[in-house]
């Protein structure tokens, strides 16, 4: 299944959500230790940590932030 079809199907049936970037996530990103150098991945980590959500990734760095990963 291609990515647009996957996202449309799972977001519309609410098995997958889209999290907008909020000011609180930007602030939380600044408070993270520099385990990860990629700013986008740091933002994902900040959102997941502040919202208590797992991250779907095989990146071994995310658990060092105390984030549960799914993959």
CA 17 – CA 37 distance, rounded (Å): 25
CA 13 – CA 60 distance, rounded (Å): 29
CA 63 – CA 68 distance, rounded (Å): 6
- DSSP H helices, the chain, are 3-12, 23-31, 39-51
Q: Model pTM? A: 0.75
| Residues of the chain above pLDDT 70, percent | 100
61 pLDDT above the threshold of 80:
yes
Residue 67's CB is within 10 A of a number of other CB atoms, namely 19
* Lowest mean pLDDT, pick from 2-6, 7-11, 30-34: 7-11
16 pLDDT above the threshold of 90:
no
The confidence score (pLDDT) of residue 12 equals 79
Tokens representing 22 are: 């909020």
Q: What mean pLDDT do residues 55-65 have?
A: 91
């Amino acid at each position: 299944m291609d990515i647009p079809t996957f996202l449309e199907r799972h977001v519309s049936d609410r098995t997958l959500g889209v999290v907008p970037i909020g000011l609180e996530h930007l602030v939380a990103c600044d408070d993270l230790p520099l385990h990860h150098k990629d700013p986008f991945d740091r933002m994902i980590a900040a959102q997941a940590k502040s919202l208590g959500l797992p991250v779907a990734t095989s990146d071994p760095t995310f658990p060092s932030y105390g984030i549960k990963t799914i993959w």
